[in-house]
Amino acid sequence: MEAIGRTEHNELERNERAWVRAAQRGDARAMEQLFRRHWAHAHRAALLVVGDAAAAEDIAQEAFLAAVRALDRFDRQRPFGPWLHRIVVNRAIDWSRARAVRRELAHDEAGEPFVHERGEAGHARELAHALSELGPGQRAVIVLRYLLEYTPGEIAELLDLPRGTVNSRLRRGLDRLEEALREELR
Amino acid sequence: MTERAVRQLLERTPVDREVEGRAWEVVRAAYAAREPVPRRPRLRLAVGVALAGAALAAAVLSPPGRAVVDAVRRSVGLEHAQPALFRLPAPGRLLVSGPGGAWLVAGDGSMRRLGAYRQAAWSPHGLFVVGATGDELTALDPSGRIHWQLARPGVRFPRWGGSLTDTRVAYLSGGRLHVVAGDGTGDARACGEPAAGRVAPAWRPGPRHVLAFVTARGRVTVLDTDTCTLLWRSAPYAPRPRLMTWSPDGSRLAVATAGGLWLVDGRTGAALGVSMPGIRALGYARDGRLAAIRRRSLVLVEPDGRTRTLFAGPAPLAGLAWSPNGRWLLTSMPAADQWVFVGAHRVLPVSNIRTQFGGPASLDGWAPGA
């Protein structure tokens, strides 16, 4: 299974490099392939870090616009995903920190919240709420590790953090999530 | 809690599927509008270019080299330029912004840095300034005192409009048009309008909060932001609009595209086209005269579309600001690092703009007052 997974992964990377090359040449369909492949994760990652639907949409969209602007300078040898995710997550952290330290107005609280659903999504909602109790840096590490599947070493590189910090944030983050979820589901 | 459980829950976090379609429209439009970099030249040419680039870089980085570059700038620019901005030739206060931040220049030439705002605009009566950094919108008074701030991603093109007692600020955030009251309350996306193109919105002068903006598809849209009433929306412009400005009485909207200038009836959207490619700045004087920067020329545009050149420089011009009394126009000549004040009978060049403002400075408006 592992070997098959690795083959698929390599195939995806090859496709992605081909899409980047084609998009650099002006092929709009290749650009759309890149967008469709990465949008859902970029959007969900932003949403989980900022906890605000409108801001998450803006952050993910802005990351893709940055990708379009930098497309001609993009190194085709590098994978597209980590480059995009670095923009998304760092912007999401910045947005969360800025909101926390500056005066925010009451209307902000009336911004579009998560789309809450009953049933199976209920637990995900509880998790999102529990995540919101963590600091933005900690949320980002959790999202990069468990949603986007980066290794702690890769996360350290993406966020420009020491690897030990990433590991401790992951451990503490999981502990706090467990604690918060236990409280909420009680 | 197991890592697997977290993984599963994160994957199930609900997101709005409609967002993907909206976002793709914006990204697709940006991709369609981009100009691809030409293909890499052949090796021999590339080596030559690299060597020339290295020589130029060495020249720029070394003190003697910088002197050469400065000499080139001087040779490009106008002669007899003042070495610094000592005073403005007409009353008022000038607002500029750029990589060196936002600055206020008083009539006596004194300058105050307001903060690290890369874009800025006056409030309608010159009592306040709104500044934008990458992720922040800030309202402050001319003394630099901050009144309110909003953290928003990708803030661009803030524009302040309205009456003396009831104002609104429009801006773009992540490709969406937002409107917030002048006291910083009620920030919201403007009336659920579609994604906006990268063009500064423009408030129609007057007490009603009527805003013109360009959609990502290049359609000029005019709406009453208080009632969310769409007053009119144009067919898509091709090429897309780059600049917009209202006449002081709100009867006309001047729209510049790469291909030319359109003088649009503010009530109906009916447009008169003027073949004037290459417009880089537009501005109405308080008495209704329209000026435009076209490559190296500063021209006046009559209501019927005829043009008259007021000034032609030795290098391309950028930016435009009318003095409040309408007797002077200010533009800049970036290649020469100069500003040029153009009056009815005189031209006053000023050098060393980058040094004074910490980098190139765009002209955001010349407001009345001391």
pLDDT tens digits along B303-362: 888 888 999 888 899 999 999 999 999 999 999 999 999 998 889 999 999 988 988 899
- For residue B367, pLDDT beyond 90: yes
Domains for chain A: give ranges and CATH numbers. Answer: 117-186 (1.10.10.10)
As a whole number, the mean pLDDT across chain B is: 85
- Please tell me which of the candidates A47, A99, A181 has its beta carbon nearest to residue B15: A47
A98 to B151: CB separation less than 8 angstroms, yes or no: yes
Q: What is the pLDDT of residue A102?
A: 41
> Percent of chain A at pLDDT above 90?
25
A124 interfaces chain B, CB cutoff of 8 Å: yes
Distance separating alpha carbons of residues A141 and A150, to the nearest angstrom: 9
Residues of B in contact with A60 (CB under 8 A): 23
Q: A6 or B114: which carries more pLDDT confidence?
A: B114
The pLDDT tens digits for A30-83 are: 999 999 999 999 999 999 998 888 778 888 888 888 888 888 888 877 888 888
Amino acid at site B193: E
Q: B367 or B77: which carries more pLDDT confidence?
A: B367
Q: What is the pLDDT of residue B35?
A: 58
B176 interfaces chain A, CB cutoff of 8 Å: yes
> Percent of chain A at pLDDT above 70?
77
A29 interfaces chain B, CB cutoff of 8 Å: no
- For residue B99, pLDDT beyond 50: yes
- For residue B157, pLDDT beyond 90: yes
Q: What is the pLDDT of residue B17?
A: 74
Q: What is the pLDDT of residue B43?
A: 38
The yes/no answer to whether this complex scores an ipTM above 0.90 is: no
Q: A112 or B112: which carries more pLDDT confidence?
A: B112
Q: What is the pLDDT of residue A6?
A: 55
As a whole number, the mean pLDDT across chain A is: 78
* E strands, B5-164, in order: 93-97, 102-105, 111-115, 119-122, 129-133, 136-140, 146-151, 155-162
Q: What is the pLDDT of residue B76?
A: 63
- Please tell me which of the candidates B1, B11, B175 has its beta carbon nearest to residue A177: B1
- CA-CA distances (angstroms) from residue B8 to A135, A144, B12? 21, 14, 6
- Please tell me which of the candidates B15, B26, B151 has its beta carbon nearest to residue A61: B26
pLDDT range class, residue A106, cuts 50, 70, 90? very low
- For residue A160, pLDDT beyond 80: yes
Q: What is the pLDDT of residue A123?
A: 64
Dig out the tokens for A186 from the structure: 């009680």
Q: What is the pLDDT of residue B36?
A: 58
- Please tell me which of the candidates A25, A39, A73 has its beta carbon nearest to residue B20: A39
Dig out the tokens for B79 from the structure: 């002669």
Q: What is the pLDDT of residue B183?
A: 92
Distance separating alpha carbons of residues B74 and B71, to the nearest angstrom: 5
Please tell me which residue of chain A has the smallest CA distance to B152. A95
- For residue B268, pLDDT beyond 70: yes
B35 interfaces chain A, CB cutoff of 8 Å: no
Q: What is the pLDDT of residue A110?
A: 33
Give the minimum alpha-carbon distance from B29 to chain A in angstroms, rounded to a whole number: 10
Place of tokens 């468990």: A146
Q: What is the pLDDT of residue A124?
A: 65
Distance separating alpha carbons of residues B255 and B212, to the nearest angstrom: 10
Please tell me which residue of chain A has the smallest CA distance to B172. A58
Q: B291 or B23: which carries more pLDDT confidence?
A: B291
* Residue B151: strand pairing partners: B136
Give the minimum alpha-carbon distance from B7 to chain A in angstroms, rounded to a whole number: 5
Dig out the tokens for B206 from the structure: 């007057």
The pLDDT tens digits for B173-205 are: 988 999 999 999 989 888 878 889 999 999 999
The pLDDT tens digits for B219-247 are: 999 999 999 999 999 989 888 999 999 99
Dig out the tokens for B176 from the structure: 């969406």
> Percent of chain B at pLDDT above 90?
53
pLDDT (average), residues A171-186: 76
Closest by Cα among B347, B346, B353 to B332: B353
B30 to A68: CB separation less than 8 angstroms, yes or no: yes
pLDDT (average), residues B61-65: 43
How many C-beta neighbours within 10 Å does residue B18 have?
9
Q: What is the pLDDT of residue A8?
A: 61
Residues of A in contact with B36 (CB under 8 A): 24-26, 72
B186 to A107: CB separation less than 8 angstroms, yes or no: yes
A102 interfaces chain B, CB cutoff of 8 Å: yes
Q: A158 or B50: which carries more pLDDT confidence?
A: A158
